[in-house]
Amino acid sequence: MSPSRPMIKLSIVIPVYNEEATVETLLAQVVAAPLPEGLERELVVVDDGSSDGSRAILHRLANEATVPFRLIEHERNRGKGAALRTAFAATTGEIVLIQDADLEYDPCEYPGLLQPILDDKADVVYGSRFLGGPRRVLFFWHYVGNTVLTMLSNMFTDLNLSDMETCYKVFRGDLLRGLALRSNRFGIEPELTAKVAKVKARIYEVPISYHGRTYAEGKKIGWRDGVSAVWAILRYNLGS
Ligand SMILES: Nc1nc2c(ncn2[C@@H]2O[C@H](COP(=O)(O)OP(=O)(O)O)[C@@H](O)[C@H]2O)c(=O)[nH]1
Ligand SMILES: [Mg+2]
């Protein structure tokens, strides 16, 4: 790359709540993940008041500094939406990518997720678990729930997304930091979707792989989160 071309910064935001089994491996994967030429990475980790060993692991890693990341801590658990809002405000990158701290999503997918933005075809990219990528077969009723929530969201936004609830969402940084976001919990996914639709962002989807985990392996999301997602879809599409 010619030295005259400035690097593009990618901010990777990682919300962490009680992920002691996966967070260290995940951070190593994020740092090792391939990036397209000309991109540098910034990691923003928000510990969302974890009560397991996650916080101690993050402190140790921050001290060892082999994985460079910015660590922000919530004193008590406030939810994924609150953790993401804290993280977004701390980003400085031209591009921002959301990365969950479990190992359900594979950081090797970054180049595919970034390409539509780098090609200036998209302002926002969603990685879809339902476009034919390899995925662990689990939980029929979660699939039904995802389909219903995505369809309900699409009915309001007039988008034809296939996976509204995906963790892998990538945004132009200035667009994302300009959104007034309010959700504290999982309502953040429909809220982000409603608000990028309202500002008429150019949205792409790319297929990703998905390595779903079981509840024994640490999955936390439940049917109550599905019900509150319905309210979030109504609220953020009909309100502000
Ligand atoms: N479940 C949950 N996850 C949170 C919270 N705060 C931050 N997170 C993180 O947000 C991501 C949400 O996880 P998700 O894959 O949607 O749910 P899960 O796989 O069922 O745990 C993970 O990286 C969590 O560590 C919270 O209050 N609850
Ligand atoms: Mg998960």
Q: Kindly list the averaged pLDDT for each block of 10 residues, start to end, along the chain of length 240.
A: 78 97 97 96 98 97 91 97 98 98 96 98 97 86 93 97 97 98 95 97 97 89 91 92
Residue 47 lies in a domain: yes
pLDDT at 3: 58
Transcribe 40-100 into DSSP letters: EEEEEEEEE---STHHHHHHHHHHH-SS--EEEEESS---HHHHHHHHHHH---SEEEE--
Q: Report how many domains make up the chain.
A: 1
Residue 126 lies in a domain: yes
Pocket of ligand 1 (CB under 6 A): 15-17, 19, 48, 77, 79-80, 83, 100-102, 104, 167, 219-221
Nearest ligand, CA 54: 1
Rounded to 10 degrees, the C-alpha dihedral 42/48/54/59 comes to: 60
> How far is residue 172's CA from residue 177's CA, in Å, rounded to a whole number?
9
pLDDT at 192: 98
CA of 85 to the centre of ligand 2 (A): 18
**CB within 8 Å of 134: residues ≥ 6 apart:** 209, 210
Q: Of all atoms in ligand 1, which is nearest to the CA of residue 99?
A: 23
The CATH number of the domain holding residue 220 is 3.90.550.10
Residue 3 lies in a domain: no
Which pTM does this prediction carry?
0.95
Task: Write out the two tokens for 71.
Answer: 């660590």
Residue 80 lies in a domain: yes
Of 220, 223, 228, best ligand 1 pocket probe by most atoms within 8 Å of the beta carbon: 220
Q: Containing domain of residue 75, as a range?
A: 8-238
Residue 56 lies in a domain: yes
Residue 72 lies in a domain: yes
